Chain A
């Protein structure tokens, strides 16, 4: 668990409302009081229902590497928002913001992904989908 100590647990910076899901309640799996912000290298992408998962190798200050898993929205909803599987590929360095799994494991929701060039994409929240459609 020491390798997790470096992880930023940002109490105020990520907003109050957790990303909501269409499959099940956010609260069933994630702790809305434990926001996380992690930067690492993508090792694997599972573009599958009911939620996409993507994994990062994250280096801690002591050099140890921990693999984190992040859960996003359903691939169906992401595709209709124009977000395809290729947006996150193994080898990319990305920063992910979300909320940690209730069981305390290296898993979290992955609501926002920021790429090395500063671009970002929301990979969860149904509300984002609605807002995007309203802008059409």
Chain B
């Protein structure tokens, strides 16, 4: 099935680039300079399948985003590379949080709390994309986390409580899908203490993320993630990851993952054998 989606189709890149620039108008100025600087340079068209409405077809199973030569975690997940971090805002909320000794704070996932976004996106489990004209749905094996991205032009919700995964809306800029997410609660930015047991890296409730997804070549996505957190950073910053398509995993599909099923040692206190 996957192979049938990979018939090479080529579109006029210049026309789509014009369309992409026009759609930047809605974006806050703090982000515009960042995202414009990340526009893919004109190059040879990437072979890709397209949906019936002419958009790049992202449907399929993928590995999790991998760093491109970046800092590696002492774990199986991916982490942000500190060389991309923007300058911290003077007097801003703390980015680094030391452990407090309370395992509920120090390692909430140990109690099956949500990974949240973007941390969960970087967890070492595959995800599957389902795409239609009006929605892109990302289903992750880890915690069976599901992100439903409206592509129908709607705006962000107003007056909702902040959440672990935020409130996403998406739009197309040429062959690049752009997802802007807001309304997060303060939570771990990437892996809780995986990278460094002495500190966790946090985002604030002012976090705004911008994901830019495009085919990099016939079996890899470019996944560019912008972190705009004005309570912590003086300026937005971005890191590009690589995401490999795994059509060979489609026969097995995503496996079930219920964290509460056999979580025997939460907080370092094991229940009996």
Contact = CB atoms under 8 A, between A and B. Distances in A.
A77 B125 CA distance: 8
A77 B124 contact: yes
Given A22-B75, A50-B261, A71-B264, A105 B270 contact: yes
Nearest to B112: A50
Contacts of B75: 20-22, 25, 126-127
A116 interface: no
B141 interface: yes
- If over half of B's interface residues share one DSSP class (helix, strand or loop), that class is named, otherwise mixed; here it is loop
A32 B106 CA distance: 17
B262 A20 contact: no
A49 B194 contact: no
A107 B271 CA distance: 9
Contact residue range for chain B?
35 or more
A93 to B, nearest CB: 18
B262 A28 contact: no
Interface in A70-129: 71, 74-77, 79-80, 101-103, 105-107, 125-127, 129
B264 A126 contact: no
Nearest to A48: B262
A21 B259 CA distance: 13
Interface of A: 17, 20-25, 27-30, 46, 48-51, 53, 55, 67-69, 71, 74-77, 79-80, 101-103, 105-107, 125-127, 129-130
